[in-house]
Amino acid sequence: MNPRHPSEQDLHAYLDDHLDAERRQWVETWLQANPEQAAELEKWRKDAQHLRARYANPEQWPANSSLDPAAIRRRRRTTHQRWLATAAMLVMALGIGLTGGWKVHDMMSPTSPPPMADAVQAYRLFTDSISFDGNTAIDGKNIVAASDTTPPEPTSDDQERIARLFQTHFSDGVMPPDLSAAGLEMTDARLLATEQGPAAMVVYRDQTGRQMMMYIRPPGAGNHMLEPGKRIDGKLMAQYWSKGNYNYAIVSRPDDPNAAMLEQMLRES
């Protein structure tokens, strides 16, 4: 079986007409499929003809250093080295292009937000900036704080309005539990609009002033359900999970012991 392409010895034998008919046909077929190598071989043939003519009639030919066999070998070696350098440059350019392309892709691709980042943002917007130390009035969406000196006691009407809010927008979601027996009162409840759909937050506060928040929203169009986990975001801790058709989060200070109790109650409901 013939190799995939002729060796240099095969090509020289072809030029010198030293191949049998089968191998000669094989070399000619390969040359037809490789015109660049065929052109190079034709140069060899012409060089050989010049050399034969020169040495057959040396007095008719002026000295020509380019026809010196050593010069011919140097030219062939230079051509081969130039081809290798070109191939190396192409490989390098391809590698740089691929690397640069992936870097640009990484720069252009939006960074995925951490789990329940909207819950942490809601906590900062609606709890850190509001002082819950006054009378409250629920309008169906919010518990609005007014100035006073002591936190008010939530009324049964307040609880009913919060229950209706959840039943309307989160019919099969977990209701915020009543934690008054544990010394925790609801101080704020809000309905929010997010990219995933309607969300709600309920803020609890204990007698020492510590606050934590229950947050609920749908997983969104991509149905992005959450594996249970928690993360620290600045001075806040977010505990998150999915249950039924909703994603949940408890946002609190990392050292708040009430947060673990609320998270367990919601997950077991």
pLDDT of residue 138: 35
Domain boundaries, the chain: 8-108, 117-268
Fold of 117-268: Phosphorylase Kinase; domain 1 (3.30.200)
pLDDT of residue 144: 37
Please name the residue that has the structure tokens 């740089």: 96
**50-108 residue pLDDT tens:** 776 666 665 555 555 665 666 777 777 777 777 777 777 777 766 666 665 655 555 55
- For β-strands 229-233 and 197-205, DSSP reports them as unpaired
pLDDT of residue 216: 94
Cα 92 to chain center, whole Å?
25
pLDDT of residue 147: 34
Q: Is pLDDT above 80 for 49?
A: no
Average pLDDT over residues 3-10: 79
Average pLDDT over residues 168-184: 87
**28-37 residue pLDDT tens:** 898 898 888 8
Q: Is pLDDT above 80 for 42?
A: yes
